[in-house]
Amino acid sequence: MSGRVIVITSGKGGVGKTTSTANIGTALAKNGARVVMIDTDIGLRNLDLLMGLENRIVYTLVDVIEEKCKLNQALVKDKKIPTLSLLAAAQTRDKTAVNAEQMKEICDKLKEEFDFVLVDCPAGIEQGFQNAIAGANEAIIITTPEMAAVRDADRIIGLLEVKEEILSYKLVLNRVRPRMIQSNDMLGVTDVQDILSVKLLGVIPEDENIIVSTNKGEPVVNMENTKAGEAYNNIARRLLGEEVEIPDFETPPPTFVDRLKNLFLAPAKV
Ligand code: ADP
Ligand code: MG
């Protein structure tokens, strides 16, 4: 059976593509899937840093394309999870070192061996984006609840729609602050969904543990009891076909006065 090739994309930079790739990849592998993550952000590689694998890289995506090594030789195994691997981006400045056809060939080979091939996309809609989507059959669009990011996500959806090989796309809303949504200071989950009309795969709260995790080179899904880690794990379970409810971030929790009222207005127990 052939694996799923999923591109993780956004249009705007800095919204959490690489963080999401590292965490969804790790969570899928922890749930038993065979996963490879490809960093296509040539010149700016950082997926290896988030995974704490930067010292283990010998060959990169560009070395595979230039036939300096075999594809399997360039796959770096995760330190903890044996079914998780990374194909790192080269640090060359030459962004034309890879073309879409070559990327598709690599994805096609990898999906024979892995259940999931996750492609971390660079920002923008230029060659790097075209390469990243070249071999994909599915897309995860990451956005934050800011108008500029939502607008860029909308543009990306337009570009994905014309690519027939991409059979499904789903949305991940990142860096959500429930209190700000509840006080109408931030676009809500339903607002973003209304604008983009794409099925929601998950919502990741703003979480300082992501900063700790990035500095440690350890995905947040490997840290105990973190909100972001739990949300990413739920995304992985949904991708694996489980029904996992998305929590309500929009309804304010009952205030102290509400709770008192409920207590007094509740029918007396007999
Ligand atoms: P991209 O790959 O889209 O450019 P990154 O994954 O590198 O984005 O994330 C950009 C920055 O935002 C990083 O510093 C990351 O730690 C931070 N970040 C991403 N998601 C969250 C979150 N849910 N909570 C807090 N910080 C986050
Ligand atoms: Mg990135």
Q: Which residues pair with 168 in a beta bridge?
A: 138
Q: Inform me whether the pLDDT recorded for 267 exceeds 70.
A: no
Choose which residue among 9, 12, 18, 19 to substitute to test ligand 1 binding: the one with the highest number of ligand atoms within 8 A of its C-beta: 19
Q: What is the pLDDT of residue 23?
A: 98
pLDDT tens-digit series, residues 76-130: 999 999 999 999 998 877 778 889 999 999 999 999 999 999 999 998 888 899 9
Q: Taking CB atoms and a 6 Å cutoff, what residues make up the pocket around ligand 1? A: 10, 13-19, 123, 174-175, 204, 206-207, 210-211, 214, 228
Among the listed residues 52, 195, 40, the one whose alpha carbon sits nearest the alpha carbon of residue 123: 40
pLDDT tens-digit series, residues 234-250: 999 999 999 999 988 88
Cβ-Cβ contacts under 8 Å for 46 (sequence gap 6 or more): 18, 39
User: Ligand 1 mean position to 27 CA, how many Å?
Assistant: 17
Q: What is the pLDDT of residue 24?
A: 98
What span, in angstroms and rounded, lies between the C-alpha atoms of 220 and 214? Answer: 8
Give the homologous superfamily in CATH for domain 4-269: P-loop containing nucleotide triphosphate hydrolases (3.40.50.300)
State which ligand 1 atom lies nearest to the alpha carbon of 174.
Answer: 23
Q: What tokens does 65 get?
A: 């394309």
Q: What is the pLDDT of residue 270?
A: 60
H/E element holding 194? helix 189-196
Q: What is the pLDDT of residue 183?
A: 86
| Angle subtended by helix axes 127-134 and 100-113, to nearest 10 | 30
Across all residues in the chain, what is the average pLDDT?
93
> Which band of pLDDT confidence, cut at 50, 70 and 90, is reported for residue 206?
very high
User: Ligand 1 mean position to 248 CA, how many Å?
Assistant: 22
Q: Which ligand is nearest to the CA of 19?
A: 1
State which ligand 1 atom lies nearest to the alpha carbon of 12.
Answer: 3
Please tell me the least confidently modeled range out of 3-17, 182-196, 207-221: 182-196
User: Ligand 1 mean position to 122 CA, how many Å?
Assistant: 13
Angle at 121 between CA 120 and CA 122, to 5 degrees: 125
Task: Name the 3-class secondary structure at 39.
Answer: strand
State which ligand 1 atom lies nearest to the alpha carbon of 213.
Answer: 16
Q: Inform me whether the pLDDT recorded for 209 exceeds 90.
A: yes
User: Ligand 1 mean position to 159 CA, how many Å?
Assistant: 23
User: Ligand 1 mean position to 15 CA, how many Å?
Assistant: 6
Q: Inform me whether the pLDDT recorded for 254 exceeds 90.
A: no
Phi first, then psi: what are they for 221, rounded to 5°? -65, -15
Q: What is the pLDDT of residue 32?
A: 95
pLDDT tens-digit series, residues 134-186: 999 999 999 999 999 999 999 999 999 999 999 999 999 999 998 888 888 88
Q: Whose structure tokens read 């962004």?
A: 95
